[in-house]
Amino acid sequence: MPSTSIDTLKGPNLPSPVAAVIITYNGGTTIDACLRSLTGFCEEIHIVDSGSTDQTLDICRRYTDKIHSHPFVDCASQWSWAMTHIPLGCRWMMALDQDYVLTEGLKRQIAHVVLLPESDIRGYFLTIGIVFRGKRLRSYGMNRLFLRLFDVQHTRVGVSVLDDHRFIVQGATRILTGLMLHDNRNENDIDFYIDKQQVYSTHMAAEEVLRSSGRIGWIVKPCAFGNPDQRVTWLKRIWQRLPLYWRPFFYFVYRYIIRLGFLDGWDGFLFDFLHAFWFRLMVDVKIMDIRRKIASGALTLDDLERQFRHTY
């Protein structure tokens, strides 16, 4: 439908009936771009902050007075708190990280689906484009699909342990192809980037050990022909059956060669190399360390599960 029809429904220059909820913490370098992309588009903008000590909240106050505070345990519990404690005036909620930026193409698509909703659609997967060290990576396979726009009355947060959480929608979903850019400018500092991957690799290693031992299951049913979350889960299940230390090599070949990462030049090489031979390799090293501790009796699965299980 032409954009003029959308303007007729909501009135020219009026916001779309969407409540954007953003989780923040010390996002002073990124939050302004995120909020600028939402201003005038979303009917409500909510901030859920976990104790920022930089200029994050000062920047947020320029755009919204709907600022909430909640201690951070992990992403899943933070989203669960937001969805159950924040009174939203809109049916549709958009869940955003502080380094996401909406493009005009995506905003047009969102306006269309929320103003002319299909009766059975309860959620939309948004296409996330990666910006790495200031450059938009454009090669085939760099875009990711995350369920971030949904009917809040028919959605919950699905949780296993720390690193694996999804928004679970009761109803059908669709994919929007307009881009939302993921641009964490803090990652321009390579030390910040590596430190962040260190933390994530620890959580991912613990989760894989717990899952392979049967302590936790998958949040969504693995299915090669299902929705994007089901397909990712299916791929993860295959990944976890591959031999440790060989997996990073397979990953690099897949991302850099098969998925054409080399088309992004030096930045594409660096991104795929670090993900394969730093992040993915560190996960495998930490999995082996955990298994050795369990075998020696220095660590039990109960201890590991208590350490990484969500607390609400």
Q: For residue range 215-232, list pLDDT tens digits in order.
A: 888 888 899 999 999 999
Q: Report the distance separating Cα 184 and Cα 134, nearest Å.
A: 9
pLDDT, position 10: 54
**φ/ψ (deg, to 5) at 197:** -70, -30
Q: Report the distance separating Cα 153 and Cα 166, nearest Å.
A: 16
Give, rounded to a whole angstrom, the gap between the first and last alpha carbons of the chain.
Answer: 43
Question: 40: which residues sit within 8 A by CB, 6+ positions away?
Answer: 13, 15
Is residue 66 classed as helix, strand or coil in its secondary structure?
coil
pLDDT, position 48: 98
Q: Other CB atoms closer than 10 Å to residue 29's CB: what's the count? A: 20
Residues facing residue 129 across a β-bridge: 181
pLDDT, position 140: 65
Is residue 184 classed as helix, strand or coil in its secondary structure?
coil
Is residue 179 classed as helix, strand or coil in its secondary structure?
strand
pLDDT, position 164: 59
Predicted model pTM: 0.89
Q: Report the distance separating Cα 196 and Cα 279, nearest Å.
A: 10
State both tokens at 204. Answer: 């991912």
**φ/ψ (deg, to 5) at 204:** -65, -40
Residues facing residue 168 across a β-bridge: 156
Question: 32: which residues sit within 8 A by CB, 6+ positions away?
Answer: 59
Sign of the torsion formed by the C-alpha atoms of 232, 236, 242 and 246: positive
**φ/ψ (deg, to 5) at 3:** -65, -25
Q: For residue 158, which amino acid is it?
A: G
**Closest C-alpha to 62, from 41, 79, 45, 49:** 45
Architecture in CATH for domain 3-186: Alpha-Beta Complex (3.90)
**Closest C-alpha to 22, from 38, 3, 11:** 38
Q: 281-296 vs 301-308: helix axis angle to the nearest 10?
A: 130
Domain boundaries, the chain: 3-186, 189-308
Instruction: For the chain, list residues with pLDDT below 50.
Output: 1-4, 8, 11, 311-312
**Closest C-alpha to 196, from 56, 26, 22:** 26
Question: 283: which residues sit within 8 A by CB, 6+ positions away?
Answer: 201, 204, 205, 208
Is residue 92 within 8 Å of residue 18, measured between CB atoms? Answer: yes
pLDDT, position 114: 95
